[in-house]
Homo-oligomer: A and B are copies of this chain.
Amino acid sequence: MKLDAFTLNDLYTWGAQLRLLVEALATLAFALSGVLAGARKRLDVVGVCVVACLAAFGGGTVRDLLLDRRPFFWVAQHELLWLVLIVSVLSMRLLRLRGRHHGLTERAILWPDAVGLGLFTASGVHYALVAQMPLLVAALMGVITGMFGGVLRDMVCNEVPVSLRDHRPYALLSFLGGWIYIACQYLTDWAAWVAIFACVFTTVGLRMLALWRDWRLPDWRA
C-alpha cells in the first residue's frame, strides 16, 4: 500500500521540497556572507541584520524591481525572512564567542555561495525570459540576480564591492551560465528543467573549478 503511493506526484513533491531546501541554503549562504561583512565592520545587531538581508535578498529584489514582478520572493516566502533574521542574530552571537575562526568561516562559505550564485543566475534568466526580455538582457538579469546582493552588501559596508575587484571569475561565470540556459531553451527541444540544470551545473562547477585552480582574470599590470 505504502509502495503503491510512491507515484510521480510524490517525486514531484520531493523535487519541489529539495529545490526549496537548496534555495534556502543558498539564501542562508548569502546571508552569512553579510553577517561576516557586518562583523568585520563591527556593526551592531541591527546593522548585521540589515547587511545580511541586503546580501540575501538584494539581488532578487533588484531583479524583481527591474522586471516589475510582484510580490517579491521574500514576501511570497516570508519564512525565509524569519530564517535569515534568526540565523543572523544567532551567528552573530557565535562569532562573538569565537572571533578567531573568521578566516575558516570565510573559506567554508565560498562553496554554498557558489551554489547560491548558480541558483540565483538560473532564476534571473528564467524570469527575464518569461517577461519576454531580449536575450542579452536575460543573461544580464541572471548576473544581476547573482551578484547584486553582494554588491549592495559591500556598498553599505563602505567597500568597493569584492566581486568587481577580485579578479577571480564570479559574475563572468554567471554570465556564461546564463547563455547556456538560453542556448538550451532556444536550440534544443529538451524539457525546461534541463536548461535550469545545465545553467546551475555550469556556473557552480566552473566557480568551484576556478576557486580550486585559482583562476585569475587579466590584471592591469600586464
Q: Is the CB of A167 within 8 A of B133?
A: no
Contact A165-B72, Cβ < 8 Å, known A41-B160, A81-B136: no
Chain B residues within an 8 Å CB radius of A217: 44-46
Residue of chain B at shortest CB distance from A175: B46
Number of chain A interface residues as a range: 35 or more
Binds B, one of A8-16, A62-70, A116-124, A186-194: A62-70
Determine whether A115 belongs to the interface, using a CB cutoff of 8 Å to chain B. Answer: no
Q: Is the CB of A167 within 8 A of B44?
A: yes
Determine whether A198 belongs to the interface, using a CB cutoff of 8 Å to chain B. Answer: no
**Cα–Cα distance between A50 and B148 once the two chains are bound (Å):** 10
Q: Is the CB of B42 within 8 A of A220?
A: yes
* A8 vs chain B, min Cβ distance (A): 32
